[in-house]
Amino acid sequence: MSERMEVDAETVKHISELAKIDLDDDEVEIFTRQFKQIISYFDILDEVPEIEIQLDVKNVLRNDKKENSLPREEVFQNIDETTKKDYFKGPKVR
Amino acid sequence: MKNINSFITRIDSKGSKKGPLRGCTVAIKDNISTKGIRTTCGSAMLKDYIPPYDATVVEKIKAAGATIVGKTNMDEFGMGTTTETSYFGPTLNPHNEDLVAGGSSGGSAAAVASGEAMFSLGTDTGGSIRCPAAFCGVVGIKPTYGLVSRYGLIAYANSLEQIGPIARTVEDAAKLLDVIAGVDVKDSTSLDIGKGGKYAKYASGEVDGMTVGVPVELIKGMDKNVLEPFESSMEQMKEKGCTIKEITLPSLEKAVAAYYIIAMSEASSNLARYDGVRYGVASGFGGDWNQMFSASREIGFGKEVKRRILLGTYALSAGYQDRYYAKAQRVKAWVRKEFENAFKEIEVVASPTMPVLPFKLGEGEKDPLKMYLSDSNTVPVNLAGLPAISIPAEWDKDSGPVGVQFVGARFQEKKLIRAASSIER
């Protein structure tokens, strides 16, 4: 098993980029401290007996029959109000 | 009475004159979709979100004739043990306003305890029905995974969570379970076992001959103020003809770590949809996709949600998956197996619902790990997909309510209902 790297501010910034959540400097500082503590608690899982994982799963299918879909105006009632009706608005693709 | 902030949105509606819940008021946790009524998940991200459809449980409650009185306050996206992570402010404990109501379904439990609703629905991913039920002195049931449809529940950790009832009495909680249980084609994890319509009659108090197991792992190091009421409940069951046995389930020592890794990992994936475009608040439309996405999530999410998404991202990132996620899945299988073995010799497992008395408001904010560890007695149930109930023990008015938890084998809700009704006051 690979040794765990110590969690530092750079680790937290890297994860925040992967998770796509900007953090301010205070949050980076607090999370660095808390993550060290929480992740070292997770080391309790280093000692877990071998156990067979039995998955109790089967396919669930339904009849392929036509049903009404949601009305357009209800689906789009949550879009940004500056947006033209019936469109989702996103940033420009450059 | 002071406003205890149970509701995010109050609704003025009328139930019908027919059905098993006619004349009954029901409050619904704000992560369960209600057509045309905003559903916020306790988050700024969804503060104006209006679902275009009803969750299956909401359709069933309406069809049963109930009057829906509002959408209840909750920890943001269900992430918390106190309802203090809500964007809409904490819910206060109706028995003592200096204490938290528990979480994450704090609004649902407080609304029932204070009489603002006769029944409510909560959701339980790692104890979020049972913890607030215990802290508010009411009854809460976390059904077997697959008994109740999750269609229309806004996802936090799909493999662990269930919708369940909260009420003042065991019989009432069972009555609401009768209404919401059953297979649903819209939720492929729901199962056609233990269909609704027959739980309430098991609230008979009859437990003569029942064998109850108490895991040492769930009582050691316990607060005396919690342990004493629990022990006197066990005495009452003994007097009614139960055999109380001490058992040991070593896997439970690892359950909190495994639970948080799985829940956070699933959250990091589920909450990826809140990008400010399809859902959520937009930060403005400058910059490229990555910049806009990241800025929207910075302003839309609170600290606990950020913490869990980031830790989940870490647990699933390259090089760490085997160390954390795969190990957590192994613990999940281990917990399940140990419970299965235990249920060959006992009928229900009993423990205090929470290892501590209700927290003071503001107590947990600084120390997330301490909060996570207080879920020790509730999370094993979600890992194993089992049913559980929390019922108030006889508690001291000064220290706050204490709950007793019973856990049963899969789809054995009726045994839990019998066991709980035997100590009901």
- The ipTM value here is 0.93
CA distances from B142 to B63, B115, B385 (A): 22, 21, 10
- CB distance B267 to A19 below 8 Å: no
Tell me how close the Cα of A74 comes to any Cα of chain B, in angstroms.
6
Structural domain of B55: 7-206+352-364+386-422
The answer to whether residue B219 sits within a structural domain is no
Domain count, chain B: 1
Q: Note the pLDDT of residue B12.
A: 86
Q: Is the pLDDT of residue B217 over 80?
A: yes
Report chain A's terminal Cα–Cα distance, integer Å.
42
Tokens of B424: 């009901």
Report pLDDT for A75. Answer: 83
- Count CB neighbours of A71 within 10 A: 10
- Residue pair B260/B372 in contact (Cβ under 8 Å)? The answer is yes
CA distances to B170, B171, B178, B245 from B201, rounded to whole Å, are: 10, 7, 10, 27
* A62: nearest CA partner in chain B: B185
B323·A94 Cβ contact <8 A: no
Using the Cβ of B306 and the Cβ atoms of chain A, whether some distance falls under 8 Å is answered with yes
**Does a structural domain hold residue B369?**
no
Q: Tell which residue, A42, A53, A75, A13, has the closest CA to residue B257.
A: A42
- Name the minimum distance, in Å, from the CA of B281 to any CA of chain A: 8
In 3-state terms, what secondary structure has residue B235?
helix
CA distance B330 to chain A (A): 6
Among B6, B43, B128, B233, which one carries the catalytic annotation? B128
Which CATH number does A9-46 carry? 1.10.20
Asked if residue B343 is part of any domain, the answer here is no
How big is the A-B interface in CB pairs under 8 Å?
132
Per-position DSSP letters for B13-57, written without gaps between them: ----SSSTTTT-EEEEETTB-BTTB---TT-GGGTT---SS--HH
Rounded CA-CA distance B167/A56 in Å is 32
How far is the alpha carbon of A29 from chain B, nearest alpha carbon, in Å?
Answer: 12
Q: Which two tokens stand for residue B228?
A: 């004493």
Question: What is the DSSP code (8-state) at residue B154?
Answer: P
Write out pLDDT tens, residues B55-107.
999 999 999 999 999 999 999 999 999 999 999 999 999 999 999 999 999 99
Instruction: For residue B417, give the CATH number of its domain.
Output: 3.90.1300.10
Written as six digits, the tokens of B121 are: 């629905």
**Token pair recorded at residue B369:** 């790990």
Q: Is B213 inside a domain boundary?
A: no
**What is the Cα–Cα distance from B169 to B341, expressed in whole angstroms?**
31
Q: Is the pLDDT of residue B6 over 60?
A: yes
- List all residues of chain B from 149 to 178 with a beta carbon under 8 Å from chain A: none
Q: Tell whether B404 is covered by a domain.
A: yes
A81: number of CA atoms within 13 Å, CB side?
Answer: 2
**Cβ–Cβ contact B47 with A under 8 A:** no
For residue B120, the SS3 value is strand
Helix B224-239 and helix B413-422, axial crossing angle in degrees, nearest 10: 100
Helix crossing, B170-180 with B413-422: angle to 10°?
160
Look at residue B164 and tell me whether its pLDDT is greater than 70.
Answer: yes
Centre a 10 Å sphere on the Cβ of residue A43 and count the other Cβ atoms it contains.
12
Q: How many CA atoms lie within 13 A of B305 on its CB side?
A: 31
Distance of CA B126 to the CA centre of its chain: 6
Q: What is the pLDDT of residues B307-342, one digit of tens each?
A: 999 999 999 998 898 899 999 999 999 999 999 999
Answer yes or no: B128 catalytic: yes
Residue B278, in any domain of the structure: no
For residue B201, the SS3 value is helix
* B62 Cβ neighbours under 8 A, 6+ residues apart: B15, B16, B54, B68
Residue in A42, A70, A94 nearest the CB of B52: A70
Cα torsion B278, B281, B283, B284: sign: positive
B29 is catalytic: yes
**Residue B328 one-letter amino acid:** A
d(CA B55, CA B49): 15
Nearest to A91 among B49, B292, B313 (CB): B292
- Tell whether the model's pLDDT for residue B126 goes beyond 50: yes
pLDDT of residue A53: 81
Which residue has 């003809």 as its token pair? Answer: B241
pLDDT digits (tens, 9 = 90+) for B223-247: 999 999 999 999 999 999 999 999 9
Residue for token digits 């619904």? B28
pLDDT for the residue numbered A2: 47
Local confidence pLDDT in tens for the 94 residues of chain A: 445 668 999 999 999 999 999 999 999 999 999 999 999 999 999 999 998 887 778 898 888 899 889 888 888 888 766 666 778 888 888 7
Smallest CA–CA distance from B275 into chain A, residue: A20
Contact A48 B285 (CB under 8 A): no
